Amino acid sequence: MIGGFIGEGAQFPAVGISFGLETIFDAIKILRPEVDSQKSVATVYVAPISSPQMQEAIKVSDTLRQLDISVDVDYLGRKLGKNLEYASSYNIPWVIIIGEDEVKEGKLMLRDMKTGEQNKKTLEEIVQLLKK
């Protein structure tokens, strides 16, 4: 096999080893169970209600990333229910919902995915909450 890669066709004695990925994943689950429950590195999921709010969603996510807050954004234009399902399935703790009313008011809807509570807050208030 090595000779085939080198191109000379010569024979090279060799010994190899391989670990199956599933075995490695099982070991990680046993040794670090918190890794299995954390399906996403994102702390916040930004969900624009419709395409006109996408620009605001990008602006908000850029600001949060500059403050070292990990963010995921819906670029697919999914409906709010699907976005909330996505965030829940990936154990993302916070969702920022950006709709037409939020843009007009200069506030964002922040939803706590553990409790289901949601409140309108300024970006500064959200940053203070997430930095705690």
User: Is residue 32 in a domain?
Assistant: no
On the question of pLDDT at 98 being above 80, the answer is yes
On the question of pLDDT at 72 being above 60, the answer is yes
On the question of pLDDT at 108 being above 90, the answer is yes
Q: Tell me the mean pLDDT in the region 40-46.
A: 91
CATH code of the domain containing 54: 3.40.50.800
Q: Tell me the mean pLDDT in the region 80-103.
A: 95
pLDDT of residue 1: 63
pLDDT of residue 107: 95
Contact 28, 36 (CB under 8 A): yes
Give dist(CA 49, CA 36) in Å, integer: 30
What does pLDDT average to over the chain? 88
User: Is residue 24 in a domain?
Assistant: no
Binning the chain into helix, strand and coil, the percentages to the nearest 5 are 45, 15, 35
User: Is residue 121 in a domain?
Assistant: yes
Give dist(CA 105, CA 117) in Å, integer: 20
User: Is residue 12 in a domain?
Assistant: no
The domain of 96 spans 40-131
**Under 8 Å CB-to-CB from 31, ≥6 apart: which residues?**
none
On the question of pLDDT at 38 being above 70, the answer is no
Lowest-confidence region among 12-21, 50-59, 81-90: 12-21
Lowest-confidence region among 20-24, 73-77, 80-84, 111-115: 20-24
User: Is residue 117 in a domain?
Assistant: yes
Helix (H) or strand (E) run with residue 46 in it: strand 44-48
Number of domains within the chain:
1
User: Is residue 81 in a domain?
Assistant: yes
pLDDT of residue 5: 67
User: Is residue 96 in a domain?
Assistant: yes
- Smallest Cα–Cα separation from 76: which of 44, 51, 108, 40? 51
**Under 8 Å CB-to-CB from 50, ≥6 apart: which residues?**
77, 99, 100
Distances (CA, A) of 92 to 52, 111, 113, 118, 121: 24, 11, 7, 15, 19
